[in-house]
């Protein structure tokens, strides 16, 4: 058993696997040993001289003065943020133990960001958290790049990965700020930025948060913009030779010109990402990882660049099978072999002044053929992983796949049963900005005062432009815009035609929404709303007699006339529904008063809800969860219409409890819903829950995510 102090400080206490725990300890041990005994050459030759120059008094523009004093122009190709992140610990280390102390200070700064990155990875993934974090923690690439070769790329990558965590947790301006900081810290991180922008501008769910995100993103650039005026900064940071590597591999098309590979790859990726348009944080992680891995395999990459893709690789691996995971492990080893014979390594630390420096120079063992073979293998593994990530993490992401065409709910039922209330409930869940609500009322043939209504009721299909209604539903489901009038209930007239654009969700409500076979087959979820006839009469009588002052007899006649049509045209649609909600009054007394046109019209009539679900629907989970949350008055009904099995629910359940049940029953539901979904209390909330459950399973969102 792992001692408490280890699991408590370095891991969450829920971590259970002792092997993983000991691998963590191993990771720590090897890091501390490397730091104690080795100093990467680039520390002592490049970074430390520059940082010492900065801490020696060149506070505001160390780049210009460093060059002026004859320093190496490639010593510190980073901006001010790097100086803060690494300069301060290096300086403090130097105060205590000269150059060796400075190197230790710098290494501890790297260790800090390295550790934080492992923690952020742990926070992001949802399954096998510790195992995935440890894959990063003991990865040879991490150890080689950070502690042997000595690159500092872990810092900007930490910022990008944390930006994804912030996005996942709904902290959008933070996400922008972190990404902005990463880009300012190291310009190459800007490769990730367009993918984030696609998420915020193409995914309607996030669009309202694009401004906070952009504000965060631009802030660091704005603050650090005065550095442009420093000639040294321009020369050392902006003019870094690394940028030129992007254009160093190309297909020669003539004696003078090339087609550059990476820009082409990146442009194609952006185009595809733009076309996909719908991203969850998971698929964003995948696509950013691909972009970084693609740059690595299509350019003569520096060792530090392998840190760019590594965390994304690790984050995306959970959903893959052994083949991909093994390829990733192989790639990690090959990357180290690729660089260790050509790039600079470390020197033995000089703790004792009298000893002489020893360095680890492997270049003498470099064999050109083996080196070429290694690079070829790296590229091969890289391509395999890019293909696998594109397939599994992006194109086959549960959310991306589930939403490839609009999700749709059709709600039918007689007038006055609450179709629009329920449609509003769904709009509140999916978000009004990405949901289209098509109401059957807009397809009535005549304005309210037209004499034809004396001959036909609204329930009669002949009194509605049903062909148009169904055609428009098809159009919206196909992603085409429609032009339609809107029935303005306040004046009883149709408005002028207006354009309605398609969106991710379509909610169709109407008296005849489930009448057409073909339309039905295209709805994901078909809902029929029903109400006990007595209750419907009571509600209508109460409203028309008490509130509107109509004579009781007239109201009764009108109800009777509609009742016949209801049976003829509306009720048959029940058979087409996946879910039937049927409301009835809990107590007869309420009804008797209301039917006489008496009583308080505003006092609520307490109701119970019967829910009919297709026989193959699995109810047990939802039922158990509802009982678990305290909605205990649920019972099976012995009611049989051949198609559906029935339960009855009687509850004043809170909106919060509905939400708890929904998230418990439907993992990753948040992808589907608005950023701030509006849950409703009571029976409407129960209806929200059952519709969502049906929709969720219809689109296979319940598939396992690793």
Residues forming the site for other proteins (CB under 8 A): 1-2, 4, 7-8, 13-18, 621, 624-625, 627-630, 632, 654, 656-657, 659-660, 663-664
Minimum distance of other proteins from residue 618's CB (angstroms): 12
Minimum distance of other proteins from residue 75's CB (angstroms): 46
Minimum distance of other proteins from residue 624's CB (angstroms): 4
What are the CB-based long-range contacts (under 8 Å, 24+) for 298-301? 298/249, 298/261, 298/262, 298/265, 299/245, 299/246, 299/248, 299/249, 299/261, 299/262, 300/245, 300/248, 300/249, 301/245
How many helices (H) does the chain have, and how many strands (E)? Answer: 31, 16
Minimum distance of other proteins from residue 278's CB (angstroms): 27
Cβ atoms 102, 51 nearer than 8 A: yes
Report the residue number, 12 or 471, with the smaller CB distance to other proteins. 12
Cβ atoms within 10 A of the Cβ of 645, count? 18
Minimum distance of other proteins from residue 32's CB (angstroms): 24
**640: exposed, middle or buried (C-beta count within 10 Å: 0-12, 13-18, 19+)?**
exposed
Minimum distance of other proteins from residue 617's CB (angstroms): 17
Q: What are residue 397's phi and psi, to 5 degrees?
A: -60, 135
Report the residue number, 13 or 70, with the smaller CB distance to other proteins. 13
Report the residue number, 480 or 586, with the smaller CB distance to other proteins. 586
Q: Give the DSSP letter of residue 43.
A: I
Report the residue number, 494 or 631, with the smaller CB distance to other proteins. 631
Report the residue number, 272 or 627, with the smaller CB distance to other proteins. 627
Picking from 299, 107, 102, 270, the residue whose alpha carbon sits closest to that of residue 194 is 270
Minimum distance of other proteins from residue 127's CB (angstroms): 10
Report the residue number, 15 or 525, with the smaller CB distance to other proteins. 15
Alpha-carbon torsion, ordered 39, 136, 388, 247, to 10 deg:
-30
Report the residue number, 2 or 301, with the smaller CB distance to other proteins. 2
Cα(581)–Cα(596) distance, rounded to whole angstroms? 26
Minimum distance of other proteins from residue 620's CB (angstroms): 9
Minimum distance of other proteins from residue 407's CB (angstroms): 25
Report the residue number, 11 or 508, with the smaller CB distance to other proteins. 11
Place of tokens 């009322």: 441
Q: What angle do CA 328, 671, 174 make, to 5 degrees?
A: 80
Report the residue number, 7 or 645, with the smaller CB distance to other proteins. 7
Minimum distance of other proteins from residue 651's CB (angstroms): 11
Place of tokens 């994901």: 524
Report the residue number, 53 or 668, with the smaller CB distance to other proteins. 668
Helices (H), 11-87: 18-37, 41-42, 48-55, 62-68, 80-82
Report the residue number, 375 or 625, with the smaller CB distance to other proteins. 625
Minimum distance of other proteins from residue 627's CB (angstroms): 5
Cβ atoms 399, 338 nearer than 8 A: no
Place of tokens 């660049």: 305
Classify the C-alpha dihedral 24-303-43-162 as positive or negative: negative
User: Beta strand 634-637 with 644-649: parallel, antiparallel or unpaired?
Assistant: antiparallel
Q: What angle do CA 112, 117, 118 make, to 5 degrees?
A: 100
- What tokens does 680 get? 């409703």
Minimum distance of other proteins from residue 23's CB (angstroms): 14
Report the residue number, 11 or 34, with the smaller CB distance to other proteins. 11
Cα(510)–Cα(487) distance, rounded to whole angstroms? 12
- What tokens does 697 get? 């399973």
Radius of gyration of the chain (CA): 33
Report the residue number, 13 or 451, with the smaller CB distance to other proteins. 13
Picking from 160, 224, 218, 163, the residue whose alpha carbon sits closest to that of residue 191 is 160
Give the CA count within 13 Å in the CB-facing half-sphere of 515: 24
Cα(388)–Cα(673) distance, rounded to whole angstroms? 28
Cα(393)–Cα(390) distance, rounded to whole angstroms? 6
Minimum distance of other proteins from residue 655's CB (angstroms): 10
Picking from 571, 446, 582, 455, the residue whose alpha carbon sits closest to that of residue 511 is 571
């Amino acid at each position: 058993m792992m001692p408490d102090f280890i699991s408590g400080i370095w891991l969450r206490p829920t971590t259970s696997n002792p092997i993983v725990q000991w691998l963590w300890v191993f990771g720590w041990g090897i890091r501390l040993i490397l730091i104690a005994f080795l100093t990467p050459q680039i520390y002592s030759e490049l970074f430390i001289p520059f940082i010492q120059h900065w801490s020696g008094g060149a506070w505001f523009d160390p780049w210009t003065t460093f060059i002026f004093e004859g320093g190496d122009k490639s010593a510190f190709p980073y901006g001010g943020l790097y100086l803060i992140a690494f300069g301060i610990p290096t300086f403090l280390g130097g105060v205590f133990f000269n150059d060796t102390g400075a190197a230790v200070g710098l290494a501890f700064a790297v260790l800090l960001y390295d550790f934080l990155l492992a923690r952020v990875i742990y926070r992001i993934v949802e399954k096998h958290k510790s195992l995935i974090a440890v894959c990063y923690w003991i990865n040879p690439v991490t150890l080689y790049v950070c502690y042997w070769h000595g690159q500092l790329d872990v810092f900007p990558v930490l910022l990008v990965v944390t930006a994804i965590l912030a996005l996942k947790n709904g902290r959008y301006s933070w996400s922008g700020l972190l990404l902005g900081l990463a880009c300012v810290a190291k310009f190459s991180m800007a490769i990730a930025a367009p993918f984030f922008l696609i998420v915020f501008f193409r995914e309607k769910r996030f669009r309202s948060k694009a401004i906070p995100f952009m504000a965060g993103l631009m802030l660091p650039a704005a603050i650090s913009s005065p550095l442009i005026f420093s000639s040294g900064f321009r020369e050392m940071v902006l003019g870094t030779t690394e940028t030129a590597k992007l254009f160093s591999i190309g297909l020669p098309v003539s004696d003078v010109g090339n087609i550059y590979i990476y820009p082409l790859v990146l442009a194609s990726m952006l185009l595809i990402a733009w076309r996909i348009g719908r991203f969850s944080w998971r698929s964003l992680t995948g696509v950013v990882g691909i972009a970084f891995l693609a740059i690595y395999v299509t350019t003569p990459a520096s060792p530090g660049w392998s840190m760019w893709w590594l965390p994304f690789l690790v984050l995306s691996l959970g959903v893959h099978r052994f083949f991909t995971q093994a390829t990733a492990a192989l790639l990690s080893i090959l990357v180290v072999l690729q660089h260790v014979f050509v790039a600079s390594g470390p020197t033995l630390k000089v703790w004792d002044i009298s000893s002489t420096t020893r360095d680890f120079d492997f270049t003498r063992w470099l064999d050109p053929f083996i080196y070429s073979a290694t690079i070829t293998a790296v590229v091969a593994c890289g391509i395999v992983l890019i293909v696998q990530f594109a397939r599994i993490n992006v194109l086959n992401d549960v959310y991306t796949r589930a939403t490839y065409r609009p999700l749709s709910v059709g709600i039918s039922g007689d007038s006055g049963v609450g179709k629009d209330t329920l449609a509003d409930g769904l709009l509140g869940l999916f978000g009004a900005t990405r949901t289209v609500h098509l109401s059957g009322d807009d397809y009535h043939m005549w304005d309210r005062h037209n004499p034809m209504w004396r001959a036909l009721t609204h329930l009669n299909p002949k009194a509605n432009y049903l062909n148009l209604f169904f055609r428009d539903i098809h159009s919206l489901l196909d992603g085409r815009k429609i032009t339609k009038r809107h029935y303005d209930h306040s004046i009883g007239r149709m408005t002028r035609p207006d354009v309605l654009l398609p969106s991710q969700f379509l909610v169709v409500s109407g008296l005849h929404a489930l009448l057409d076979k073909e339309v039905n087959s295209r709805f994901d979820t078909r809902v029929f709303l029903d109400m006990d006839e007595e209750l419907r009469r009571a509600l209508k009588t109460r409203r028309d007699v008490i509130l509107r002052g109509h004579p009781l007899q007239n109201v009764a006649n009108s109800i009777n006339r509609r009742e016949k049509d209801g049976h003829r045209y509306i009720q048959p649609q029940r058979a087409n529904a996946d879910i039937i909600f049927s409301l009835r009054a809990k107590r007869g007394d309420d009804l008797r008063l209301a039917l006489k046109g008496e009583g308080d019209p505003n006092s609520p009539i307490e109701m119970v809800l019967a829910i009919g679900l297709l026989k193959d629907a699995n109810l047990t989970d939802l039922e158990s969860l509802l009982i678990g949350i305290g909605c205990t008055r649920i019972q099976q009904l012995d009611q049989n219409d051949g198609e559906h099995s029935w339960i009855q629910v009687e509850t004043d359940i809170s909106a919060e409890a509905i939400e708890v049940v929904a998230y418990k029953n439907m993992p990753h539901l948040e992808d589907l819903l608005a950023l701030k979904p509006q849950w409703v209390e009571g029976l409407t909330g129960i209806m929200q829950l059952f519709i969502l459950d049906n929709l969720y399973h219809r689109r296979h969102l319940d598939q396992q995510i690793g």
